[in-house]
Structure 1
Amino acid sequence: MTDSAVDPSHRSRAPRRRAWWSGGSTVRAWNGELLGWSVIGLGAGMLLGAWLGMLFGGVWGQAALWAALLTPVILAFRRGIPRGLLAVRPVDLLYGVVLGLVLRIVQGWSAVAFGGSGALPSYASLDGSLPRLWWAEDLLAGGIVAPVIEELFFRGVLLVALFSVVRRSARRASPDRRGAGIRRAGVVSVAVTTVLFVLTHQLVSALTPDAAVALTLLGIATGALVVLTGRIWPAVLVHIVFNLSGVGLIVAGTLLG
């Protein structure tokens, strides 16, 4: 067969690059050491945040926790960026809007199931007005900044590092069962990061039962998205939509109440 008989699309098509979860040089340094530093950063951030929060107020405590979570993120990305993790696709926005709103609806159902009235939440206000800095503390910090930092840490660093460690361990134990190692790493990394995600929120501020259910489902959904798509931004957008929709309900409940 001559070159002219070959389909040009086959000649020009570039080989598909593997995602980070299949291993490779981009996650070689994402190992047990990085995993350990991430856990230490989480613990230190929670302790420092609680201490500063008691002394100077919640804003300083939250800032300390965010700084502690960002430190392992910076350390990890200096070691290398996992292949495809920071890629962006148009479908990521669809994931974010649909799953974020579905999770918010489930949280509302859970609130009613645990004895809630089903009424819109609202700010504690005597005259029905919004707090002066609600847009900074809740809309920007809680609705956008917190989801980005939390997802970069829990699903961007902690999950990927744990996935890589478990996958390597499984491959050493059963070198002929590569697929089984990937599946095991996916289940373990999603489960562990979800538990730590919920516990962190519980220790920072006591969770109601419906909030615990919603955060658990949020952790599972965002973790699964990172494993299945290989990208972090679907998880970030789901978290942002979930948080912003909660702020929107509180604002509506305050103004309409």
Structure 2
Amino acid sequence: MVKHAKLSHSRLPKSRDLLSKIVFTQPNRPTLENVKWFGSTIARLNDRNGESFMLTRSGFTGELGYEIFCDHSSALKIWDTIMEAGQEFGITPMGNEALEMKRIEAGLMSAGAEFTPDVDAFEAGLGFAVDMKKDYFIGRDALERNMLAPKKVLVGLKTEGTEIPSHNTPLFVDHQQVGVVTSATYSPTLACTIIMARIAIEHSTLDSVVEIGCLDGHIKRIPARVTGCPFIDPKREKARI
């Protein structure tokens, strides 16, 4: 059985500084400093006799972050060591609600939200992960056909209020539904509600205004403006540090 833990850190990333105190890698494994964005290595806690785990530079924070995957019997020891080593950096555990907030600020897609069985990779904002140079893979013909005449695209929306629409809340222009909300949260950093949405391509231009339909979609509407996504650090420079 394998468990995984997520590390949180301050606005100035300290996760690498923290891990450098407790991560040991064998000479034939990539060192902590050589693990690139979305890379991984096999490491041990403190020295060659310590608890073994897989260390990856991945996660949903959009920051310089790491994930640790370990056997359940090692989880408590590794957690306690991280928390002790992190005291000088002011480490604080965070829950799923905070993680979801960071994920949406970073414009990172999530299964069941941005990508579902009835949405193709490009509509889900995952076109970067598809290698159309390959001669064949399952679904290639369908993707190529959809690329010729795209109908929907993933965008960011901002509203001035604090009300957070739920997943699949419809988006309207006048009385016509033009899209749906995929994820939403209130961003303390931006002091507004931010929304990831899948929308008809003709209404996806920056600064276009749509209305978020609440209740039955007609009695109450919340205006929203199309913006860039990710909402923070659009070039994802922080995650590449």
Question: Considering the TM-score relative to the shorter chain, is it more than 0.5?
Answer: no
Larger RCO, structures 1/2 (Cα 8 Å, 6+ apart): 1
The alignment's TM-score, normalised by the length of structure 2, stands at 0.21
The alignment's TM-score, normalised by the length of structure 1, stands at 0.20
Q: Quick check: which one's helix share is greater?
A: 1
